[in-house]
Amino acid sequence: MSETNTPVQIEESWRIALQEEFQKPYFPLIKQFIIEQKAKGKTVYPPGSLIFNAFNLTPFNELKVVILGQDPYHGSGQAHGLCFSVQHGIKPPPSLVNIFKEIKTDVGIDTPNHGNLESWAKQGILLLNASLTVNSAEPNSHAKCGWQTFTDAVIKKISEEKKGVIFLLWGNFAKAKKVLIDTSKHYVLEAAHPSPLSGGAFFGSRHFSKTNELLKQQGKRIIDWKLN
């Protein structure tokens, strides 16, 4: 995060696309909220340098797919600014394990030995959490600080300025964002959340092969779901 009067440290094409958003009154209040949390002794995830990691790894100009998450992981060393992804050396959480199981069934790729999804991000998949920060051991603790206003604006900007983007909406929270997307020029694939709490309803959605089929139809390079 940056001071109010200095540019946000974010990849250039996103900085241009979201310039108006950064000038709105609510945006500096997010930084203020995070500073206040730290002043209270809270540990905030991810580290400041990784808050905009999803944007930095997936430039606006290269964006093809959006996967929407709700909240960063709130355990030590997990969150690094990409939804569902964890840093190398961290055990994949249950939702991510289920994502890998579905990939195995859908496109035949074996479960990787890590849960870092950076290689997806570098292929044009925006791994966007609705909130970009969280307190340690306090899920959804930053859900009302302004992040969702910002990330809703991100989704709207993608919808308005791009064409043929594939949005993967998993679970009721993500599905509720469908109203922000112009479905006449974008693709929306919906499924249950990959969490074990969904009772396995995520399995069989085949979103990974469907995404590649839609990319192929548009003449775009398909996603290699195998992690590097």
How many whole angstroms separate alpha carbon 213 and alpha carbon 100? Answer: 19
As given in the structure block, the two tokens for residue 125 are: 């998949």
Q: Which positions are catalytic?
A: 71
Q: What is the largest CA-CA distance in the chain?
A: 52
Q: Is 211 exposed, middle or buried (0-12, 13-18, 19+ CB in 10 A)?
A: buried
Q: Is 144 exposed, middle or buried (0-12, 13-18, 19+ CB in 10 A)?
A: exposed
DSSP 185: T
